[in-house]
Amino acid sequence: MLAQGVRWFDDWFAIENIAPGVHAIGEPRFHQINWNYLIEGQHTALLLDTGPGVRDISEVVRTLTKLPLIALPSHLHFDHTGNLHRFQNIALPDLPVLRACMRDDVLHATDDLFRGFLEGMVWKPVRISKWWPIGRRIDLGGRHLDLIHTPGHSPDSVSLFDRDAKILFAADFVYPGPLYAQTPGADLAAYLATTHALLSQIDDQTQIFCAHGAPDKKGKHRAPLMNSHDISDLQKTLMDIKDSGKMPKETVINARMTLLANDTAFASWRTG
């Protein structure tokens, strides 16, 4: 079930060392095939996304690093925040939509941001240790990650960019499979603007690791890797849809991606 170079942690989590100091932690048996990323510097480690919480990811993380750890969800959808409550040190991007979820110093995700009711999952309130402004250079010691706002799939989506290593952790912005712009808060105008923002910063040498994988032709799993051409293809698709004036529910982007959209996702184009 796992590709060469990927190993099982138990019978649920798969681990792939994708770059020096970077481990992808996959959940290939979960139907959404989530991939989370543990990124280490010299003095701090960061966990981008915590999976759906079907199993406790913190046990995996503890075996991979002894460094002080910060957990950062790429957005609040249930398949990225299921284990968030298991971490002491949680950072969030400083976005109004997330600040609005705070009550009595505790974060309560709205149904639209969490979506856990779809799979019987219940939000577990968490305290937030750090609010990072968009554009923040996160210093892990000898490694910097730029915090980039990448709305489109959801209003609270962020990506991390390691400029020196040329690795973009794009989370749910792109991945092999159907991109979800048919969920509350999805916005195609934002999706298109984000493609421009990302393409101005990356080049065709940039590795783009994503939060949802797909098995290869032999049914084997590894951390999903895309490149700048996939974002260019998405950009072209979005511009073509915009120019057509139509509102297709499903559009093929390229051999690896399709775009699913509902009428609400087109709203900002119709009024703008």
Report the interface residues with Zn ion, using CB under 5 A: 79, 172
* Three-class secondary structure of residue 68 per DSSP: coil
Nearest approach, Cβ of 172 to Zn ion (angstroms)?
Answer: 4
Q: Write down the least CB distance from residue 97 to Zn ion, Å.
A: 17
Residue 58 is which amino acid?
Answer: S
C-alpha radius of gyration, the chain, whole number:
18
- Count Cα atoms within 13 angstroms, Cβ side, for 36: 29
The percent of the chain in helix, strand and coil, each rounded to the nearest 5, is 25, 30, 45
The least distance separating Zn ion from the CB of residue 259, rounded to whole angstroms, comes to: 15
Q: Shortest Cβ distance from residue 194 to Zn ion (Å)?
A: 16
Q: 177 vs 247, which CB is nearer to Zn ion? A: 177
Considering the complex, state which of residue 172 and residue 233 has its C-beta at the smaller distance from Zn ion: 172
DSSP per-residue string spanning 71-117: EE-SS--HHHHTTGGG-S-BEEE--HHHHTTEETTEE---HHHH-GG
Choice between 41 and 82, CB closer to Zn ion: 82
- Which is nearer to Zn ion, 85 or 166 (by Cβ)? 85
Nearer to Zn ion, 161 or 180 (CB): 180
Distance, CA of 162 to CA of 144 (rounded, Å): 6
| Choice between 41 and 116, CB closer to Zn ion | 116
Instruction: Find the shortest distance in angstroms from Cβ 139 to Zn ion.
Output: 27
**CB 245, min distance to Zn ion, A:** 30
Nearer Cβ to Zn ion (16/79)? 79
Contact residues for 58 (Cβ-Cβ < 8 A; gap 6+):
83, 86, 87
Closest CA to 76 of 131, 122, 115, 120: 115
Smallest separation (angstroms) from Zn ion to the CB of 169: 13
Q: Which residues contact 140 (CB under 8 A, 6 or more apart)?
A: 39, 40, 41, 42, 43, 44, 45, 46
C-alpha to C-alpha distances, 236 to 200, 231, 242, nearest whole angstrom: 15, 9, 10
